[in-house]
A and B are shown apart, each in its own frame.
Chain A
Amino acid sequence: DAKTTQPPSMDCAEGRAANLPCNHSTISGNEYVYWYRQIHSQGPQYIIHGLKNNETNEMASLIITEDRKSSTLILPHATLRDTAVYYCIVRVGDSGGGADGLTFGKGTHLIIQP
């Protein structure tokens, strides 16, 4: 799986959009970008994933650059409950990766300020 690089920490004001960047310059053509978050000591929570098109769900939006070497997770209206470690993970997805385990990097500790 391709490696990812994320800033170790970020702050965001409550109510504002939180934009979390991820670099994955060695991503392969069949690899998806997945985002998970982990609120302190809870199980990682799936947020969103995408291959090359931008994706949106009820939690967040995922913007992937045209060359697919980087992406941005957007939480449109951050709340205090969004304070967590956010992990960007690149892997072969949608059944192409089989039952392969996820490789968690260091992630970004997002702190939402009141």
Chain B
Amino acid sequence: AAGVIQSPRHLIKEKRETATLKCYPIPRHDTVYWYQQGPGQDPQFLISFYEKMQSDKGSIPDRFSAQQFSDYHSELNMSSLELGDSALYFCASSPLGHSEGDTQYFGPGTRLTVL
């Protein structure tokens, strides 16, 4: 079965640079979620989108922004990167608008390293 696709899988950036992470949800899924997992920590929810509108917001820094496009893929934009932004970033998707429940299915993640 098709899964959530994230790209790139690995990314290395310098401090103060910008990064863009991409997420392609499971086909027919209209809702995407972003999570951050620092070293040795549990995943923390950042933000979610349903039908291209921001739906829920967690602990997302002001330096980060995200959007969902007409094809339902989503991008997480991160600016003025700091060492502490080094983490795994997971995207999840769910078929919320199709009355198939809202179980979230996660992608493999993007490992961001800030030097």
Q: Residues of A with Cβ closer than 8 Å to B?
A: 34, 36, 38, 41-46, 49, 87, 93-107
The winner among A41, A46, A93, A102 for most chain B CB atoms within 10 A is: A102
B94: Cβ under 8 A from any A Cβ: yes
Of B4, B43, B88, B96, chain A has the most CB atoms within 10 Å of the CB of B43
Contact A34 B49 (CB under 8 A): no
A54 to chain B, nearest CB (A): 18
Counted as pairs of residues, one from A and one from B, with CB atoms less than 8 Å apart, the total is 75
Smallest Cβ-Cβ distance to A104: which chain B residue: B42
Main secondary structure of the interface of A (DSSP, over half): loop
Q: Are A97 and B102 in contact (CB under 8 A)?
A: yes
B33: which of A38, A99, A104 is its contact (CB, 8 Å)? A99
Q: Using a CB–CB distance below 8 Å, which chain B residues touch chain A?
A: 4, 31, 33, 35, 42-50, 55-56, 58, 88, 90, 92, 94, 96, 99, 101-109, 111
Q: Quick one: which of A45, A46, A93, A107 contacts B42, CB cutoff 8 A?
A: A107
Q: Check if A43 sits within 8 Å of B50, measured CB to CB.
A: no
B90 to A99, Cβ gap below 8 A? no
A94 and B101 contact, Cβ closer than 8 Å, known pairs A99-B48, A99-B94 = yes
Q: A95-B96, A106-B42 are in contact. List 13 more A-B contacts (CB 8 A).
A: A38-B43, A43-B108, A44-B43, A46-B104, A87-B42, A93-B103, A95-B101, A95-B102, A98-B56, A98-B96, A102-B35, A102-B104, A103-B45
